């Protein structure tokens, strides 16, 4: 009986450890990413020798700078993930700045490995996410300066500047490498192309419409 309780306890401990964090918890003070290190297959980057770690491995400068929003969607994301800040390796967090031109959008996308929390620094931003099947319910709200909104991990979500001036948001993410899948790019810009007849059937439109959209990606 005692062994059964021990086994159940271990299962609960393992389950809770996966439920509490998107990324695994570190087993040392830090593990600064070493992208030029040995090709070790780990869930993250190999660690730099702790004796070679410098202050700048934990430092990033640039979130005070406005991103260039002169593009088709009118927004620019400045990420601070493990790729930009090696000290984030194994720590399970990252962040980003999002700049919006008037009526610019951050198109519908997902972060497959992270929950996102957003706070508005400037402007008015409409935010929303869509629940999973079968409800496919839109949860959305217009945020003002100082407001905070959270997007659950893996769900399709978006942001849009609904003001006539620029807007800025800062986001936090529960992974050192949250990943991003922009829905339109993934569906219509995959290489090689997803068959146009398949997409035409999925979206219930003519194949020519799909071909036209795919040509833009």
- Pick out the residues of the known binding site for oxalate: 106, 111, 116
Where are the strands (E) in 23-166, listed by range? Answer: 75-80, 94-100, 105-110, 116-122, 125-130, 138-143, 148-151, 157-161
Structure token pair of residue 23: 């990324």
Annotated binding site: 106, 109, 111, 116, 157
> Binding site residues for Mn(2+), as ranges?
109, 111, 116, 157
Residue keyed to tokens 């439920």: 19
Q: Which residue do the tokens 């600064």 mark? A: 32
Angle 207-214/196-203 helices, nearest 10 degrees? 110
CB 130 within 8 A of CB 155: yes
């Amino acid at each position: 009986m005692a062994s059964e309780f021990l086994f159940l306890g271990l299962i609960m401990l393992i389950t809770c450890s996966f439920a509490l964090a998107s990324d695994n918890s570190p087993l040392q003070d830090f593990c600064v990413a070493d992208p030029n290190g040995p090709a070790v297959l780990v869930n993250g980057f190999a660690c730099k020798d702790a004796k070679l770690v410098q202050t700048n491995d934990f430092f990033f400068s640039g979130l005070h700078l406005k991103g260039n929003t002169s593009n088709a969607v009118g927004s620019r994301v400045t990420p601070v993930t493990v790729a930009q800040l090696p000290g984030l390796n194994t720590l399970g967090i990252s962040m980003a700045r999002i700049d919006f031109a008037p009526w610019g959008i951050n198109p519908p996308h997902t972060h497959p490995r992270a929950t996102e929390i957003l706070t508005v620094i400037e402007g008015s931003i409409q935010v929303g996410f869509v629940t999973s099947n079968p409800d496919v319910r839109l949860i959305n709200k217009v945020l003002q300066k100082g407001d905070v909104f959270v997007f659950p991990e893996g769900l399709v979500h978006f942001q849009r500047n609904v003001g006539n001036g620029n807007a800025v948001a800062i986001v936090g993410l529960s992974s050192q490498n949250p990943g991003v899948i922009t829905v339109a790019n993934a569906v219509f810009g995959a290489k090689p192309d997803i068959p146009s007849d398949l997409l035409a059937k999925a979206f219930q439109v003519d194949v020519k419409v799909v071909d036209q959209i795919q040509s833009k990606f």
